[in-house]
């Protein structure tokens, strides 16, 4: 997309790029050295709508502690899916980004620590949820419901 040339012009900054997915929503997280900013589609993560799910997006940060993120900038692009799916995609992207960053630039043991902590909390933070919408079939109004049967 747009920021390909921007990435190639920044020389040796440490960065990783990861995807978080949920249903059809895809969040692409780009984590690099920085000072603890987390932005979603260009706006700070504190402003995520719907408000009731905002904490969901914070979960990886809250579980691992703010200090793990203090020297990282994470930029996230989300598209597809609905509100809830996007938020779940965002939290997966954040969790995966920090693990990938630690694997690449910090060390193996700290990566495994993070993985363990996140897995113990919620497996979906690192492993994407395979459930998809089932296609509708004929003879009914949804995937499983059938039309009512009458004998006369």
**pLDDT by residue (tens digit) across 12-21?**
578 888 888 9
Whole-number pLDDT of residue 1: 53
Secondary structure (3-state) at 54: helix
Residue 10 has pLDDT above 80, yes or no: no
Q: Indicate the pTM of the whole model.
A: 0.78
pLDDT at 4 over 60: no
pLDDT exceeds cutoff 50 at 2: no
Residue 83: in which H helix or E strand, if any? helix 83-105
pLDDT at 64 over 70: yes
φ and ψ of 3, to 5 deg? -90, 20
What is the mean pLDDT of the segment spanning 22-46? Answer: 88
């Amino acid at each position: 997309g747009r920021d390909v040339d921007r990435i190639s012009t920044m020389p040796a900054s440490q960065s990783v790029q990861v995807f978080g997915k949920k249903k059809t929503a895809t969040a692409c997280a780009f984590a690099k050295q920085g000072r603890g900013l987390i932005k979603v589609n260009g706006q700070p993560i504190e402003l995520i709508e719907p408000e009731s799910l905002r904490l969901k997006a914070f979960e990886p940060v809250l579980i691992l502690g703010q200090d793990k993120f203090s020297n990282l900038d994470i930029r996230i692009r989300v598209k597809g899916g609905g509100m809830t799916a996007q938020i779940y995609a965002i939290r997966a992207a954040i969790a995966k980004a920090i693990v990938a960053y630690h694997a690449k630039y910090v060390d193996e043991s700290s990566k495994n620590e993070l993985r363990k902590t996140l897995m113990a909390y919620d497996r979906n933070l690192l492993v994407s949820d395979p459930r998809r919408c089932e296609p509708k079939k004929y003879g009914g109004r949804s995937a499983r419901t059938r039309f009512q049967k009458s004998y006369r």
